[in-house]
A and B are shown apart, each in its own frame.
Chain A
Amino acid sequence: MDFQVFIFCGKGYNLFPFTQRKDDSGAPKALLPIANRHMIEYVLDWCDQGGFKEINVLGEATDVAMIKERLRTYINVRESQYEILLKSIQAHHVQQVRKPAPINFIVTKGETTGEVLCNDLRDRITGDFVVLPCDFITDIPPQILIDQYRNKDSDNLAMAVYYRNGFQNIDKKHLKPSYIVYSENENSMKQPVLLDMYSGDDVERSKYLQIRTQLLWRYPNASVSKKLLDSFIYVCSYDIIKLISENENPRFPPGGESEDSDEETQNATQQSLVIKPSYFNKKNKLIRDSINVDKSLDKVIRDLARRSWRHAKLRETIGLFVLPAGGAFIRSNSLTAYTEANRYILRIKSSVMQSQQITGTNIGADSIVGPNCIVGERTSVKLSVLGRDTKIGKRCRIVGSVVLDGAIIDDESILENVIVGPATQIGKKSRLTNSYIEGSYIVSPKTVLKGETLTHIHLDEILTSEEMTDSTDDDESSGYTEEYVDDDEFEDDGLFER
């Protein structure tokens, strides 16, 4: 499989306060542990199943450095696994063992995912490629996506992957509905295509969901779903890169639409120079339209989807693939989803392993305890993750919680559905429910909290942190762009607003 994989590692502001980095306290989102493994390792494992050509991890300079550093052991293990395997089997079976794809770390400068794709990656991409977020866990093998992509119609530019949330505990509030407009193309040979997307906020703001009549004439049997969620997985053809790069300067798109025919001929000459990556597909005559890439990738994809029906001549489409309901898919893009992701792994673990009793304490089979962990007497741990070097006192009860590395929880505390940041101290006899506690926070004894988020307050951040708590709910779609004030949000559509 000659796909390149690009994993976008964002800041993860939706996971505030565990990824906050104002004072470099938290780790980037990709390194946040899920069941004591870095989040991104699940993604890398998934990629290894698919056997892609190369895996690229993208992020800002500091993030990338840190990710690279922390993943060193993972990568070493991965390679030595391969070597051991190679040694242990006979020579004539060697061809069955696949060398793990190289993992590259790429520093990106673009402010939005779209820009990153256009500027930082354009020259790196040589063929079809896959864009992944760094925060998903799934038991759906990548082959399913790849097969689906291979079956695509030849006029398909990319395939956007959507999923339906199968986890009931994830807060409805965090799963902001967006209106995904797509056509199943029931009455034709074609695969389902994505047509448009409106975020729930925009619809709320403008009081109307606007469906263009033009779309209805093109696709008379379109469906709209509020339950589909963007997985931020895009399997893209090389055509997309050609489209984007042809419009070098997004601000001043060359030529108007009226000159379509002209451009086509131009394009045809250009195309003859380009080597097409897929041989059995019909070539697409790419008509150059101005595409604003200065926004997050999902919006670029949306614009491409709109482009497919907006014009007098139909353009290439964007495929849509909804992950099969049988498989589990979860993106840790909100705190509840993050907890749920942890529990998902825990449940897998408990179904595989038998319950082990540690004397004096009661740790359920559905829990994971990290190395160097000290758990006091008569403490019960259920459906929870304890990170490395954590210290839990006596007679504590920890249920459905995630305790990150180095946290200290004193005697007789009760934690239910709590995420405890790294190196946090929780005093005696505290009762915490449904709360989030930032790393290195010290919770005084006998604190009773319900549904609170405890964070450090930095003087210079009082304002910004307020804003941030607001904005955390805002846009979960990209996982990468949250930190930038996205002007596009308001302009969004461009078609209707002016």
Chain B
Amino acid sequence: MAGKKEKDNTKSASKKGNEHLVGEERLQAVVLTDSFETRFMPLTAVKPRCLLPLANTPLIEYTLEFLAKAGVNEVYLVCASHADQINEYIEKSKWNLPWAPFKLQTIMSLESRSVGDAMRDIDNRGLITGDFILVSGDLVTNMQFDKALEFHRKKRASDKDHIVTMCLSEGSQFYRTRSHDPAAFILDKKTNRCLYYHQLPPASSRKKGAIDIDPELLEDVDDFVLRNDLIDCHVDICSALVPAIFQENFDYQFLRSDFVKGVLTSDLLKKSIYAYIMESYAARVESWQTYDAISQDFIARWCYPLVLNANFLEDQTYSYESRHVYKEKNVVLAQSCKIGKHTAIGSGTKIGEGTSVENSVIGRNCHIGDNVVIQNSYIWDDTTVLDSTIIEHSILASNVKIGRNVSLSDGCVIGFNVIIGDNMVIPQGCKISETPVMKSEVQFLDNESYDEDDSTISSDRATNFKLEPASDLLGETGVGYIYESDGSNGDEDASDETRINNTLAYRIDELYLSDDSISSSTGERKKKRTMSTTSVYTDMEGEDEEDEEDFEVEAMATVERAMENSHDLDTALLELNTLRMSMNVTYHEVRAATVFALLKRVYHFIATQTLGAKEAISKIFGKWGLLFNRQAFEKDEYIDLMNILLEKVLVIQFEKPEFVLFRALNCLYDQDVLDEEIIYTWWAQVSDDAKYDQVKTLTAKWIEWLQTAEEESSEEEESGEEESEDD
């Protein structure tokens, strides 16, 4: 609340100038050294992310270098995991020297489990006095911060509710440093005010959906842009209110998906967030791909003036040669070795005869044997690679020993101190650590593994087969354990994620943008907006959506129970009817629930292979289809029933929806629940939405057959009846 008062003061022009001055005098920065994620496991089990070297320089250096250039006066390093290591590193670094550009203070926030926790901790400590920069400790950027700050102040002057300026870099939708957490920003076209934030499934994901924007958020905006081409590097200029907002909303965990989204959609808060869009290079090292991409960009001098030969560590001695080759002093290269483009080599490293290195970074004091091939790989300090080994798209941490004639393929991550024996072939995406890393040891969990069950299961699995060293993979002399990345259990999204995680090289995954994906996604949406074949029903939903939700669940349970215990029809009907009346819903809902329950049962039978598709449908619809006789009375209602059937068949995602629909209709027809005339009328007005096309194929044939059969029979019998048929 103190912040609010301060803001009221800014109204008067004189004081505003005053505060402006104060703000400029003391620009604070909060660096979150922990990302609270596990993407760099198993390496981060030993070393914190921000101390992992990128192009032979610890990541934190890039962030601090940026802050120094931005003219920050005070930096708070929020440390959670491996805080001691960070503390130690900082104490020894140049930033701790008396002439360092800013005052640096490490904050031990050991209990923090998320960005939200860290922010609340900061609020508790009361460190923030004015606007501050919130960055993560893995940022690589050459942005001109003064412009962003100017933007922030200008917006602040025009909109006093402005609390955060997000600095976003313009890229393209498939930009490689954007591979994780792509998100769409909805911005006001004129002012760049952020209206909405939505995380998108990755382009390669099979889950397709839509962003739902509440029109209320757009009320006073005429033109806005939907940007999916922004690289969000989490550089935010925040007002002093931000930690307090985290404090008030103790459920906020993530900076973007909770905080930004929460602030934007909140009716009460009435705060605004702006986006500053810049063209400079900015990216976060947040995954293996971005590590690869940023390393390459950095080597290729995209980040100028932030380049390797600027030597921002005291003892670095890099010199720059053409074709983006960087070498430190005391590098020993054999006569016949080839150093290709985009390569950096640290001092004390020896490279043997006939070895070729390209697009790679090799740390200090490494020994690379003869005839080794190193491509697109990152080898950290003190590592030994013996002769004839091939390393592609891999990361070798410090002090690794690789034997002769070993082959490492795409996405291998070899942890600290691991030893790999001779003649070994390490498969794609394999991650090896020196000591077993168990899930339960993982201090900070990813959002996915938050729920208890998940982590315990995987830790069980870990104990099952991670305790023994992976000697068959690493050879007799090998030392190391296989690390299994989390989320490899089951569901599609996670496996997607791991698939991305497991490869080092960023590939533009084949876009999964086919047509059926739309329909499947709409199937999922279904639950929220049940059948809107006609407007009447839509309106009804609007009134009491909750009731209807309940009813659907209840009614389905009723039907399921009836089928399970093979009640008689009347009992089931009675129960349904009571439900219908007590919940005050229409027969439409009853039908929908019944159809859904029946189809689910069918699905269950098919899935468990108890019965074939045909038998299952005949059995279920043969017996329970008669329910509809008492759920539909008018012609319209039967047509509605068929529409529901059509919809639900899609929703349940049968393997062969067309067959299920056809059998179910046929079954109902045989039971005289549906007669031809109704079927024809339905067919004449059935939705011709493209997504139903496939589903309708068999039914189309069937109806055609019905029609011809009828014509024939009537022709045989009496020609006089033709008149009535013409209708």
Are A211 and B690 in contact (CB-based, < 8 A)? Answer: no
Q: Mark B200-213, 1 if CB is under 8 A from A, else 0.
A: 11010000111111
Q: When the two chains form the complex, which single residue of A216, A222, A290 contacts B200, counting CB atoms closer than 8 Å?
A: A216
Within 8 A of B (CB), among A160-206: 181, 187, 200, 203-206
Question: Which range contains the number of B residues in contact with the other chain?
Answer: 35 or more
Q: Mark B687-715, 1 if CB is under 8 A from A, else 0.
A: 11111011001001000000000000000
> Which of B208, B209, B535, B690 has the most CB atoms of chain A within a 10 A radius of its CB?
B690
Q: Do A221 and B229 form a contact, CB below 8 Å, given A311-B515, A312-B513, A498-B522? A: yes
Q: Check if A141 is an interface residue, CB within 8 A of chain B.
A: no
In the complex formed, the residue of B with least CB distance to A307 is B690
Q: Do A290 and B693 form a contact, CB below 8 Å, given A221-B227, A251-B688, A253-B688? A: yes
A310 to B519: give the CA distance in the assembly, Å.
11
In the complex formed, the residue of A with least CB distance to B172 is A220
Are B694 and A256 in contact (CB-based, < 8 A)? Answer: yes
> Which of B200, B210, B531 has the most CB atoms of chain A within a 10 A radius of its CB?
B210
Residues of B within 8 A of A311 (CB): 513-515
Q: Check if B329 is an interface residue, CB within 8 A of chain A.
A: no
Q: Check if B609 is an interface residue, CB within 8 A of chain A.
A: no
A181 to B213: give the CA distance in the assembly, Å.
13
A490 to B215: give the CA distance in the assembly, Å.
18
A495 to B517: give the CA distance in the assembly, Å.
11
Q: Do A216 and B215 form a contact, CB below 8 Å, given A223-B226, A253-B688? A: no
Are B212 and A224 in contact (CB-based, < 8 A)? Answer: no
> Which of A213, A258, A494, A496 has the most CB atoms of chain B within a 10 A radius of its CB?
A213
Q: Check if B724 is an interface residue, CB within 8 A of chain A.
A: no
A218 to B532: give the CA distance in the assembly, Å.
29
In the complex formed, the residue of A with least CB distance to B697 is A256
Are A490 and B535 in contact (CB-based, < 8 A)? Answer: yes
Question: Distance (Å) between the CB of A35 and the closest chain B CB?
Answer: 31
Residues of B within 8 A of A258 (CB): 694
Are B538 and A205 in contact (CB-based, < 8 A)? Answer: yes
Q: Which of B45-53, B217-225, B353-361 contacts A (4 or more CB under 8 A)?
A: B217-225
Are B688 and A257 in contact (CB-based, < 8 A)? Answer: no
Residues of B within 8 A of A494 (CB): 687, 689-691
> Which of A214, A218, A226 has the most CB atoms of chain B within a 10 A radius of its CB?
A214
In the complex formed, the residue of B with least CB distance to A291 is B690
Within 8 A of B (CB), among A453-498: 489-491, 494-498
Are B224 and A223 in contact (CB-based, < 8 A)? Answer: yes
A310 to B513: give the CA distance in the assembly, Å.
8
Question: Which range contains the number of A residues in contact with the other chain?
Answer: 35 or more
Are A209 and B218 in contact (CB-based, < 8 A)? Answer: yes
A490 to B689: give the CA distance in the assembly, Å.
14
Q: Check if A225 is an interface residue, CB within 8 A of chain B.
A: yes
Are B522 and A227 in contact (CB-based, < 8 A)? Answer: no
Are A223 and B688 in contact (CB-based, < 8 A)? Answer: no
Q: Check if B13 is an interface residue, CB within 8 A of chain A.
A: no
Residues of B within 8 A of A220 (CB): 172-173, 227-229
Residues of B within 8 A of A204 (CB): 215
Residues of A within 8 A of B518 (CB): 212, 214, 310, 495
Residues of A within 8 A of B173 (CB): 216-217, 220
Q: When the two chains form the complex, which single residue of A211, A257, A490 contacts B211, counting CB atoms closer than 8 Å?
A: A211
Are A212 and B223 in contact (CB-based, < 8 A)? Answer: no
A209 to B516: give the CA distance in the assembly, Å.
22
Question: Distance (Å) between the CB of B516 and the closest chain A CB?
Answer: 8
A222 to B693: give the CA distance in the assembly, Å.
30
Residues of A within 8 A of B511 (CB): 217, 312
A492 to B687: give the CA distance in the assembly, Å.
12
Are B514 and A253 in contact (CB-based, < 8 A)? Answer: no
Are A252 and B229 in contact (CB-based, < 8 A)? Answer: no
Question: Distance (Å) between the CB of B235 and the closest chain A CB?
Answer: 20
A200 to B215: give the CA distance in the assembly, Å.
9
A257 to B519: give the CA distance in the assembly, Å.
12
Q: Do A217 and B513 form a contact, CB below 8 Å, given A226-B223, A251-B688, A495-B522? A: yes
Question: Distance (Å) between the CB of A317 and the closest chain B CB?
Answer: 16
In the complex formed, the residue of B with least CB distance to A206 is B529
Question: Distance (Å) between the CB of B21 and the closest chain A CB?
Answer: 38
A53 to B229: give the CA distance in the assembly, Å.
44
A224 to B693: give the CA distance in the assembly, Å.
31
Are A498 and B532 in contact (CB-based, < 8 A)? Answer: yes
Residues of A within 8 A of B515 (CB): 257, 310-312
Q: Check if B533 is an interface residue, CB within 8 A of chain A.
A: yes
Question: Distance (Å) between the CB of B268 and the closest chain A CB?
Answer: 19
Within 8 A of A (CB), among B659-708: 684, 687-691, 693-694, 697, 700
Are A227 and B538 in contact (CB-based, < 8 A)? Answer: no
Q: Do A252 and B700 form a contact, CB below 8 Å, given A208-B213, A498-B531? A: yes
Question: Distance (Å) between the CB of A250 and the closest chain B CB?
Answer: 6
A495 to B515: give the CA distance in the assembly, Å.
11
A451 to B515: give the CA distance in the assembly, Å.
51
Within 8 A of A (CB), among B180-221: 184, 189, 200-201, 203, 208-215, 218, 221
Q: Mark B522-543, 1 if CB is under 8 A from A, else 0.
A: 1001100101111100100010
Residues of A within 8 A of B486 (CB): none
Residues of B within 8 A of A216 (CB): 173, 184, 200, 211, 226, 228
Are A224 and B208 in contact (CB-based, < 8 A)? Answer: no
Residues of A within 8 A of B203 (CB): 217
A217 to B694: give the CA distance in the assembly, Å.
26
Are A290 and B225 in contact (CB-based, < 8 A)? Answer: no
Q: Check if B647 is an interface residue, CB within 8 A of chain A.
A: yes
Question: Distance (Å) between the CB of B465 and the closest chain A CB?
Answer: 38
Residues of B within 8 A of A187 (CB): 172, 229
Q: When the two chains form the complex, which single residue of B208, B542, B687 contacts A213, counting CB atoms closer than 8 Å?
A: B208
Q: Check if A210 is an interface residue, CB within 8 A of chain B.
A: yes
A181 to B225: give the CA distance in the assembly, Å.
9
Q: When the two chains form the complex, which single residue of A203, A214, A251, A496 contacts B513, counting CB atoms closer than 8 Å?
A: A214
Question: Distance (Å) between the CB of A306 and the closest chain B CB?
Answer: 10
Are A225 and B222 in contact (CB-based, < 8 A)? Answer: yes
A491 to B691: give the CA distance in the assembly, Å.
14
Question: Distance (Å) between the CB of A62 and the closest chain B CB?
Answer: 29
In the complex formed, the residue of A with least CB distance to B183 is A216
Are B693 and A209 in contact (CB-based, < 8 A)? Answer: no
Residues of A within 8 A of B693 (CB): 253, 256-257, 290
Question: Distance (Å) between the CB of A220 and the closest chain B CB?
Answer: 4
Q: Check if A361 is an interface residue, CB within 8 A of chain B.
A: no
Are B226 and A224 in contact (CB-based, < 8 A)? Answer: yes
Are A208 and B228 in contact (CB-based, < 8 A)? Answer: no
Q: Do A224 and B224 form a contact, CB below 8 Å, given A213-B209, A312-B515, A498-B531? A: yes
Q: Check if A435 is an interface residue, CB within 8 A of chain B.
A: no
Are A490 and B210 in contact (CB-based, < 8 A)? Answer: no
Are B688 and A250 in contact (CB-based, < 8 A)? Answer: yes
Question: Distance (Å) between the CB of B545 and the closest chain A CB?
Answer: 10
Q: Do A227 and B214 form a contact, CB below 8 Å, given A213-B208, A289-B690, A498-B687? A: no
Are B228 and A207 in contact (CB-based, < 8 A)? Answer: no
In the complex formed, the residue of B with least CB distance to A303 is B690
> Which of B172, B225, B542, B694 has the most CB atoms of chain A within a 10 A radius of its CB?
B225
Residues of B whose CB lies within 8 Å of any CB of A are 172-173, 184, 189, 200-201, 203, 208-215, 218, 221-229, 511, 513-518, 522, 525-526, 529, 531-535, 538, 542, 647, 684, 687-691, 693-694, 697, 700
14 contacts between A and B (CB under 8 A): A205-B538, A209-B215, A216-B226, A217-B511, A223-B226, A225-B223, A226-B218, A226-B223, A253-B688, A258-B694, A311-B513, A490-B534, A495-B518, A498-B526
- 13 further interface pairs, Cβ-Cβ under 8 Å (given A210-B210, A221-B226, A490-B534): A209-B213, A211-B184, A211-B211, A216-B211, A220-B229, A221-B228, A292-B688, A311-B514, A495-B689, A496-B210, A496-B525, A498-B522, A498-B647
Residues of A whose CB lies within 8 Å of any CB of B are 181, 187, 200, 203-218, 220-227, 250-253, 256-258, 289-290, 292, 310-312, 489-491, 494-498
| Nearest 8 pairs of A and B residues by beta carbon | A220-B229, A220-B173, A220-B228, A208-B212, A216-B228, A210-B210, A209-B213, A312-B514
